[in-house]
Structure 1
Amino acid sequence: MLTLSAAKSAAASAARGRHFRFHMLLTGAALALSGCMPATTQVAGADPADPSAKIAPVGYRSTIAPYTSLRPAAPAPWRDRNDAVTPQPKQDR
């Protein structure tokens, strides 16, 4: 049992080492190639640093526009409110 456990541990550490080296190589290649990329890219239309560039108009919509305050509201008598929501008694046929 101990031998099997040791063999599994050795295989796992060897695989982990290969994966680590691969990921380090991949990360190094990505960093090296990122130096070849331009600092900024032209996405769509004018340069964003140009102050005379035309932009879309900005609009404002309030998130609480339909809100209306219900205070102060006079409370209704509780008996009337309770009777308004109770089910009506069924009629015998």
Structure 2
Amino acid sequence: MFTLSGAKSAASAVDRRYFRLNRLLLALAALSLSGCMPATTPIASADPAAPAAKVARIGYRSTIAPYTSLRPATPAPWRGRNDAVTPQPKQDR
């Protein structure tokens, strides 16, 4: 039993060393790659309150522009329309 716990603690110590090494390598890679990042432009040159600042043009598009009313001007004669769609009575009775 003591040998098993000794083996487990030795394995976990090795795992901790590899974890620390991986964390160190990751930090070094991040620091070395941060030098490859492009320089940002200063915010003072892109001041939106400057009169010479270029801005996009604004335009108006109506949300209901293609709408046309489909209401009829006068009601259709309902009696003729109703009679046209009703089934015909059977003659053999």
- Is TM > 0.5 for Structure 1 vs Structure 2? no
TM-score by length of 2: 0.45
TM-score by length of 1: 0.45
Higher helix share: 2
Larger Rg: 2
